[in-house]
Structure 1
């Protein structure tokens, strides 16, 4: 672990202790944080490949929960425990902080970090990106290297979602749309114009459909 990564882990622990959050980030192991809700969380990084260049543009941080005994837990089941309000905001921030800590430790200095962001989280807070901007600054990662990836889930207020995304952009974060064109998620076509994302990740079904159409 580099000195910067070690310092950031210490900074995170102090911050969460002050907030009374039941979490302890670990210096040991490649990507591990012990979580006070009875699970351990790890980061898994999926490379993001440019469609034209074919080169790795960045890495998407994905949470992998385990029981304290080491048994893998379903991600959706874990996240659904914290589906609303302050609990959701705290767990979301813990996961993003974990990915950021491991990104600093394990990846090159010129790639982007993609972080999934459920629309319901953006509707649950009014300080969009304010806290995480401080966390990214402590990690030494500029917001221009962090891509907030808006998941495909529908919301009760798309206008509020657009305002939240605008606030994130104002803080320097990049915005991506996930699984654009996925069957059953027509909401993405409206979001494309409303959110004006920097990056669009096409769903495989859309690409497969285009390839099939070329046969006729």
Structure 2
């Protein structure tokens, strides 16, 4: 089975058979789409179609950096020419940002080829993966910020070094892992965690994004804590690039009527 998955992954990398989908990140205060997260998928008929299987296989095969590179190129090509002022959030593994993998000239070429600006791109760094040399990673991230890229810490609370990286890097965004959002209305510990993170973000001048909101009840708690940027199935599922960008022009109401008007996704 592992050999089959390895062969399939190598085929996808060679043929560049990766598709970019976009999921909206919504500003519930301004009632508009703030940006999109680029999500990568394999072919629909492939055993590596799903993101989890795709990236877990790449990690086992030692091909995470190669897959990251292909996903970045595909996302850039897909986003190129859309003409939208919205932010594009892209996921990058720490390994891709470490020497000798990180190549500033290739990154600049990627932007120029696809007519993109650094200030339009938010680089999401997941804390799920350990970093072999944190000092080198911080050097790269500091360079990216100086060039105009925005930085987000993804999956806060899910892994290794989120709070430490937060304190050292001072990111523009911190995305709260969906584990702390799921059924938060029934879990006092999750609500206290969220409250603490909101207070810390306010003090550090950082914007929070609550991930994985799927129900009205979860949304009510998140909105009540003062978090304005949200992401999840309640606001939109991942869609092909052209369809998602069309939705950005006219934000359609989510199917919910259970919340007071000032708090509802429907008020979008």
* TM-score, normalised by the number of residues in structure 1: 0.68
Task: Give the Cα–Cα distance (whole angstroms) in 2 for the partners of residues 165 and 172 of structure 1.
Answer: 11
- Which residue pairs with 1:181 in the alignment? 157
Counterpart among 170, 174, 183 of residue 200 in structure 1: 174
Structure 1 position 212, deviation (Å) = 9.1
Q: Take 1:140 and 1:124, find their aligned partners in 2: how far apart are those partners?
A: 26
- Which structure has more relative contact order (CA 8 Å, sep 6+)? It is 2
CA contact (8 A) 2:95 2:101 kept: no
User: Which protein is bigger by CA-based radius of gyration?
Assistant: 2
- Stretches of structure 1 that go unaligned for 5 or more consecutive residues are 1-33
Q: Do structure 1's residue 102 and structure 2's residue 83 form an aligned pair?
A: no
Cα distance in structure 1, aligned partners of 2:30 and 2:100: 37
Which runs of 5 or more structure 2 residues have no equivalent in the other structure?
A: 1-10, 185-189, 196-220, 222-268
Check conservation: 2:65, 2:95, Cα contact below 8 A.
no
Deviations 1:47-68 (A, max 9, x none): 112354342111111111127x
Q: Deviations over 1:44-100 (max 9, x none)?
A: 111112354342111111111127xx3352434433554499954443222111111
- Number of residue-to-residue matches in the alignment: 177
Return the alpha-carbon distance in structure 2 between the equivalents of residues 120 and 54 of structure 1.
Answer: 36
CA distance in 1, matches of 2:33, 2:73: 22
- In 2, the alpha carbon distance for the partners of 1:131 and 1:161 equals 18
Which residue is 2:91 aligned to? 116
Higher strand residue share? 1
2:36 is aligned to 59
Distance 2:76 2:68 in 1: 12
CA distance in 2, matches of 1:181, 1:170: 27
